[in-house]
Structure formats: C-alpha cells, structure tokens
Structure 1
Amino acid sequence: MTRVIILRPEPGAGETAARAARLGLDYRLCPLFEARPVPWTPPPPEQFDALLLTSAQGARLAGPQLAAYRALPAYAVGGATARALQAQGFEEVVPGDQDGNAIAARIAADGHRRVLHLGGRTVASIAQGPLSIQRTVIYEMVSRAGTELTGLLQPGAVLLIHSPRAGEKAAMLVPPHERAQLHIVAISPAAIAMCGNGWASAQAPDFPDDERMLALAAQLCE
C-alpha cells in the first residue's frame, strides 16, 4: 500500500493521522517542527478593525490574551484556523480561500483597514493593498532533526506539506536524485514552490485545508 507521510507538527499531525485512518490510508508521522509559544504583549484592540490569523497554531498558542480581540471581525486562512478560533470563543470567523493574499483582499473588500495579524515568527508575505497590517509574533516553529524521514521513504510515498517552511525543510532532507518516485501534496502553491523540483508529482487543493489534502493523497494511493 502507498504510504502517506505526515510532516506537520502536533497537534495538527494527530488530527491528520485520524483523518488518514478513517480513509484507510497507510500513514506515518514525522513532524519536522514543534510549535512553541513566545511571550507577547497584546496591542490595544481599539487600534484595529479586524483580526487575522493565518495558522491554527496562532489560536492554540496565543494564550488568554487572545480573548481581548473577540469583539473584532475575525478572518482565518483555512478551515482549521477558523475552527481553532471558534474553539477560543470567536463566534463569527470568516475562512479565506487560498492564502494570506486572498484573505487580505477579502478583508479590504469588507471595508476594514487596520488589521492585527497574530502569527508565527516566520510567515509568508502578504500583499497588503489598502490595508495597514500590524504583525505580532505569538509563537515560533522550532525545527526538529527530521533524520527519521529517510527511513520512512519508499517508492510512491506521498509527503504531506502543510506550510512553505515544511516544504523548505523537506527539500533539504530529500536530495533531488531521490525525489523521482515521491509525490508532494501541499497546502498551497507557495508551499509547493518551497519543495523544489524533481518530484514525481506536486499538487495543492483548491482550498487550503487538511481534508482536501488527504483527498488528493487518497487519489494517489489508489
């Protein structure tokens, strides 16, 4: 059976594993990063028109300070991020298509201008357009060795890439001459770009969420 390798950090890795099990996929866990909160001082909520999160880790690791922004319109990249915000008491969350650029355009179209972006120390750039986006770091992704990945690779294996940084790390761990029989399913075109060239295939779903990624992986496993 074709193997699916889950590279995302916990707790997301466990969620993906549970979905993979329900689909009957042969999966292995190999998180490349560990998410850790960092101390942060919440900017005054009245300075902003909207809240933006581009990763579910932000909602999980923000701590009690996040509650100060529940009155703001909340926007999220992807369904997982939206659900993580809702779990933190945000009643109305707008999930965005594709990436940070798409959700920024949606925020602007809704008439907001001053945006607080709570995210990791390393994030993809966002085309701000008419928005004024203040980025505040609330967590960081700490790299793990990842050397165990080599032992999990087999011809036809599918690597799940949940972020551009994970794509970059996978490209470092898997040299070009070993990629021809391995497939990439990434959460976005930006994540695919960081994986480099030479893979048997590389694709991303039309909406950046885990369920659609696994659907693509299941097709490759048929």
Structure 2
Amino acid sequence: MTRPLAILRPAPGDRATLERVHAAGLAARATPLFTVGPLAWAPPDPAAFDALVLTSANAVRHGGPGLAILAQLPVLAVGPQTAAVAAAAGLTVAATGDSDLAALLAGQPPQRRLLWLAGQDRTASTHPALRQFIPVYASTPRPLNAAEAESLHGSVALLHSARAAQRLGTELDRHRVPRGTVRIAALSAAIADAAGPGWADRAIAARPDDTALIAAARRLAIDP
C-alpha cells in the first residue's frame, strides 16, 4: 500500500512540490493551509545596509517594486530554493545556506549591516548584524472544510514550517480527524516537534529542501 502525500504549503510553492512528488513516482494532493499575499512596505535607503537577508522565496515573489530599489545589495539566502527565486528576479546571491537562519548568520560579523525581508510571522533572531526587519508578505490561515480535513486521513503530510505543523493539528482536531491516522514528514526536527504529539509516525528530512523532504516522506508512504 502506498499512502498519498498531502502538500500543505500555499501557492505557488504547492505546485512546485506537487511536480517534484509526481516526478518521484508518488501520489499527492495539494491542501494549502495558508494563503500568501503582499504587504505595503517602504524600502529604506540601501546605502544604510551591506546585504539583504531572505528566508523565504515569498519575500521575492511578493516584494513588489520596493525590491528593485534594494537590488544593489547582495543577498544572503537561507536555502537553494530561495536563492534560485532571488537570482531569477535579478538579485545577486552572495551566499546560500543549507539549514536555517541561525546557521546562515553564524559566520556574519556583528558589525555587518543586514536588512531582513520576510513574512509577517517569522522566527525571531537576535543576531547583532540584523539591523532591521521588514515584513513584506503575510501568510493568512485558510480553514479547511470537512471534506478537505477528511482527505488527510491516511496520508503523509509534508510540513514546511512550524506554523503549518501547528495549523495541521488544529484543523484535524477541529474536524475530529484523529491525528493517529496521519503520518508527518518535516523539514526539521523543530518543525516536527511543533506539530505536537499523537501522529501515526514521523520522519525528518536530511536537509531542509523539498528533495530531502520527499525522500523522508517516501519512507512513510510505502507500507511493507
């Protein structure tokens, strides 16, 4: 028996993940838990900063015209997918991480002046090089209807963020779909922990990217 994978991330990331899952020979369905949209924001003087920190491709997708004003700043991207979207938008990627924000900033000197563009809800950081944070997009929770919640029964849910992990549990509990009928695959142990207890099984990606996440999910999807 092969369980379907449930893709919970918002568009357009859900489509990209769906294509990767199908390329891996697995079944999947997209059931986004959030909708993403731009926020109004004013770019600061780029001369006041040394580099731009991007922790999500959505900051590029929804950055709007203000992003062009900051295009002269080199980009520190949290991962390869964010780096690829930034490069495609004409930004110069100077460094690409392979873990999380803390790892990305670990080698940055405290006197460096970094501007962080991200979502309205983000994991806080106290690194001294982060001089300013500007939210440029927001992820709004999207309630599942009863049929969507029931469709997750027997699936392997892909968790790309702690917010999605928490939201998944909330929505299943609200519709009385037992957590014990769902397996979860997460980009990190912290994300899996955010989902809370009660899941049928869980797996952690070896790296924080879609390819590794799908590989982890495959181990849960194929029953002996």
Q: Same fold (TM over 0.5)?
A: yes
Q: Runs of 5+ in structure 2 lacking a partner? A: none
Q: Secondary structure at the match of 1:80?
A: helix
Deviation at 1:172, TM superposition (A): 0.5
Which secondary structure state, in structure 1, belongs to the residue aligned with residue 104 of structure 2? helix
The structure-2 alpha-carbon separation of the partners of 1:26 and 1:132, relative to structure 1 and needing over 3 Å to count, comes to closer
Could you report, residue by residue, the CA deviation over 1:148-202 in whole angstroms, capped at 9, with x for unpaired residues?
43221233x2101111111110120123982224211112233222211121223
Is contact 1:38-1:137 (8 Å) kept?
yes
Aligned pairs for 1:164-203 within 5 A: 164-175=162-173, 178-203=178-203
CA-CA distance at 1:83 after TM superposition:
0.9
Task: Give matches, 1:57-136, under 5 Å.
Answer: 57-108=58-109, 113-128=112-127, 130-136=128-134
| Corresponding residue number in structure 2 for 1:20 | 21
1:205 aligns with 205
The secondary structure found in structure 2 opposite 1:173 is helix
Report the equivalent of 1:41: 42
Contact kept in structure 2, 1:85 and 1:93, CA below 8 Å: no
Aligned to 1:151: 150
Q: Displacement, 1:86?
A: 0.7
Q: How many residues get paired?
A: 218
- Root mean square deviation of aligned Cα: 1.9
The answer to whether the 8 A contact 1:188-1:205 is kept is yes
SS at match of 1:106: coil
Comparing 161-170 with 193-202, greater Cα deviation is found at 193-202
Task: Please say if residues 101 and 127 of structure 1, whose CA atoms lie closer than 8 Å, have aligned partners that are also in contact.
Answer: no
Higher mean alpha-carbon deviation, 146-155 vs 53-62, is at 146-155
Partner of 2:138: 140
Cα displacement (A) at 1:17: 0.5
How many angstroms apart in 2 are the aligned matches of 1:17 and 1:4? 9
Give the alignment's TM-score, normalised by structure 1.
0.90
CA–CA distance in structure 1, aligned partners of residues 198 and 6 of structure 2: 18
Residues 96 and 112 from structure 1, CA distance in 2 versus in 1: closer, same or farther, beyond 3 angstroms?
Answer: farther
> Which ranges of 4 or more aligned residues in structure 1 deviate by more than 4 Å?
none
**Structure 2: how far apart are the matches of 1:62 and 1:4?**
30
2:188 and 2:208 in contact (8 A); partners too: yes
Identity across aligned pairs (percent)? 35
Q: Is the 8 A contact 2:206 2:213 kept in 1?
A: no
1:38: Cα distance to partner? Answer: 0.8
1:42-92 Cα offsets, whole Å, 9 max, x none, are 011111111101111101100122122232221111221111111110233
Contact map agreement 1:167 1:192 (CA 8 A) in 2: yes
